[in-house]
Structure 1
Amino acid sequence: MSVKFVHFAGIDVSKSKIDICVLLSGDVKYPYSNCFEQSNKGFADMKKWLRSLMGNAIKKLLICIENTGHYNEAVVHYLDSQQIAVSLENAANIKRSIRDIRKKSDPKDALDIARYAKHHSDELQLWKKPISVITTLKQLLAQRRRLLSVLKALKQPLEEKAFYDWSGVPKTTAYTAGIQGLELDLKRINEDIAQLVKEDAQMRRQVSLITSVPSVGPITAYHLICYTDGFKQVKSGKQLGSYCGVVPFERRSGSSVRKPARVSHLANRVLKSLLHMCALTATKMKNSFGDYFRRKIAEGKHKMLVINALRNKIVLTITAVVQKQTRFDKNYIYQNLQKP
């Protein structure tokens, strides 16, 4: 970070209010805590309160917020518009840093976040407002996932019931008007997403690069672009693989703990699920990915171990084509996959 922060604050966000705790430089007596409502007026009152504590030194204040999804979007955008430095941090990272977990309250959570920001200020990345097209795409994809979830819940009982038509159990009317309406909404969302991507040259280019990788489709490409802010947050393929939960980590300690490397459950589950489907598709293809899968299975490797290796290779390949701005080259990837 170019700015040397001396004051730190943590914000715990809920649906209707925000709890904030401030740690002022040189003041070791006690933290300053307050609570404000989730509204424009509440945010303005919060800024006024912060200025009363530190005046113009608010420019050297770093506010850390636990990433809780859409609940924190309003306050993050407000702080950014007021040129107050803010960082969104993974909740799991903050939780692991807490020494005393016996007490749980919103003010304490805000204090824990503030302490985390102070101790890890050199590692935190400042939040930057994503371009509007990515924000819109992210909202459309979230709505699409919700529609698919509801459709699955409505369709599955009907399909299971139809399987037992031979049993002679009295039949009831299949009410499918809601399903038809949801399917129409899903069709419209897919059309809106395609049109949105088509109108943005940079996103269209990235989608073209990502989908040039075998087994990777547009939906996976859209999600990767959204969750990485157009790959601006991606430093390497390994970093993206860790974020997606496809990189195995060792667990060793002393002479007794010698556990095999396993993937962590701390991951973006949406991306992990999409990559899993890509890997399953790749196992059936006649290319370097499919050849790799069949060769490893023939060597006696566990199927899920090989599938995860494929997920990791797909992530590394996607990162390479995006960063090099070059479409997938099957000969180059084939050589990499042949290495022991």
Structure 2
Amino acid sequence: MYCIGVDVSKQHLATYDGERQRTFPNTRDLKELAAFLKGKGNKVTVVFEPTSTYSRSLERLCRSRKLRCLRLNPRVLPHLREVVQGRSKTDRTDAELLWQYGQDHGPGDLLEEDRLGHILKVYLSCYAQAQKARIACQQLREALSHDPDTPAEILEELGREIGRLKAREEKMLVRAQTCIEKDKEAERTYALLLTIPGVGRVTATVLATLFRRYAGTNRGEIVALVGMDPLEYRSGSSVHKKSRISKRGDGFVRKVLYEATLAAARFNPAVREIYRRLKENGKPEKVTRIAAARKLLLIAHAMYRTGQPYRAPKASGG
């Protein structure tokens, strides 16, 4: 088995194959990497960490060449760094760590095409971009509206731009939902998620896409993919910093879940309970909402895996 670790970035692919490090341009067709791997036969294992759109070309290459892959969860690589640093003072690149993981856990699996999952991701990325631009535009208009010297036509133009961006948000969301309706499995998941109190069409669409793209994940893995896994800081036996979430995963999914807690903390008994308990213990609002968002994610993921609709938890006896 020929194993190669690939550290993916926007413009480059840094690789290591046990002998030397190489860098290839991260182009749409990955012509240089494809030519290099062609001479390695068909028993090739590619190890990488998915990075949204930047790893799509690599995934496509692996599918077309029928190369086996190990796609690492975002929480694995930081753990590997800690293990290596604890044993040696020498720095190892991420590509080397990925290669070592492949040596220990190969040969990996063949990737299956999930065109719907990727199309949904594209629509949601466009939705997120329009939403971000609309919020920025609203904030600018609000600030300028308090300045008496701001020309009226500027405020009018900003108002029209806000309306245009709102329409684009809705257009992208409708396109995503239309795709979901054409796929029985995706439609079933979407309908299932809508049974959760506090989950609306945006949250259901985002989670249905997430679960489809990362099918087979467990509780810990799905939490890490969203970047809600805790990070603890320790130095020796005496220095400890407050833990926080890693924020290494999909920031848009994390934002949608965070916003969904406003409704879920009111209408979802399980989410409301954890929100109430943390508030009573004096936790800050941001901490309580992150915990509530994590709970909401785990409820949705459990329902997706079991295929069972939402059931309110039984009230404890007094």
TM-score under structure 1 length normalisation: 0.74
Q: Secondary structure at the match of 1:140?
A: helix
Tell me whether 1:153 sits opposite 2:136 in the alignment: yes
**1:10 has 2:26 as partner:** no
Match of 1:134 in 2: 117
Which residue pairs with 1:49 in the alignment? 36
Q: How far, CA to CA, are the matches of 2:272 and 2:303 in structure 1?
A: 19
CA positional deviation for 1:215: 1.1
Partner Cα separation in structure 2 for residue 34 and residue 262 of structure 1: 34
Q: 1:256 to 1:46 in 2, by over 3 A?
A: closer
* Matched letter for residue 282 of structure 1: A
Number of the residue aligned with 1:27? none
Secondary structure of the residue that 2:45 maps to in structure 1? strand
Q: How does 1:177-326 map to 2 (within 5 A)?
A: 177-230=160-213, 232-235=215-218, 237-248=219-230, 251=233, 255-259=237-241, 261-285=243-267, 287-294=269-276, 296-298=278-280, 300-326=282-308
Deviation at 1:193, TM superposition (A): 1.7
CA apart distance, 1:276: 1.5
Instruction: Give the deviation of 1:312 after TM superposition.
Output: 2.8
Change (3 A) 1:182 1:84: same
Deviations 1:188-220 (A, max 9, x none): 222212211111111111111122111122222
Contact 1:18 1:38 in 2 (8 A): no
Query: What is the correspondence of 1:116-127 to structure 2 with a 5 Å cutoff?
Result: 116-123=98-105, 126=109
Q: CA offsets per residue over residues 105-146 of structure 1, 9 Å max, x none?
A: xxx96xx41442224544576473342211111100001111
Partner of 1:38: 27
> Quick one: distance in 2 between partners of 1:72 and 1:170?
45
Deviates more, 1:286-295 or 1:196-205: 286-295
Unaligned runs of 5+ in 1: 1-5, 24-29
Matched with 1:69 is 52
User: Runs of 5+ in structure 2 lacking a partner?
Assistant: none
Q: Cα–Cα, structure 1 residues 19 and 239, in superposed 2: closer, same or farther, change >3 Å?
A: closer
C-alpha displacement at 1:251, in angstroms? 5.0
Q: Deviations over 1:130-180 (max 9, x none)?
A: 422111111000011111111222222112222x26xx4353412244444
RMSD of the alignment, in Å? 3.6
CA distance in 2, matches of 1:308, 1:195: 30
Return the offset for 1:11: 3.3
Q: Quick check: 1:173 aligned with 2:173?
A: no
Name the CA shift for 1:83/1:214 in 2 (closer, same or farther; >3 Å): same
3-state secondary structure, aligned to 1:229: helix
Tell me, in whole angstroms, the C-alpha distance in 2 between the residues paired with 1:328 and 1:272.
21
Give the percent of matched residue pairs that are identical in Structure 1 and Structure 2: 18
Range moving further from structure 2, 144-153 or 31-40: 31-40
SS for the counterpart of 2:6 is strand
TM-fit CA distance, 1:256: 1.7
Which has the larger Rg?
1
The TM-score normalised by the length of structure 2 is 0.78
Q: Residue 284 of structure 1: SS of its match in structure 2?
A: helix
Q: CA deviation at 1:274?
A: 1.7
**Structure 1 pair 230/214, CA: closer, same or farther in 2 (3 Å)?**
farther
Moved more, 268-277 or 134-143: 268-277
Report deviation, 1:36.
Answer: 6.0
Query: What whole-Å deviation, never above 9, does each CA across 1:10-50 have from its counterpart, x for those lacking one?
Result: 33556666554433xxxxxx42746467354x53x544433
* TM-superposition CA deviations, 1:257-284 (whole Å, max 9, x none): 4555543343432222222112222233
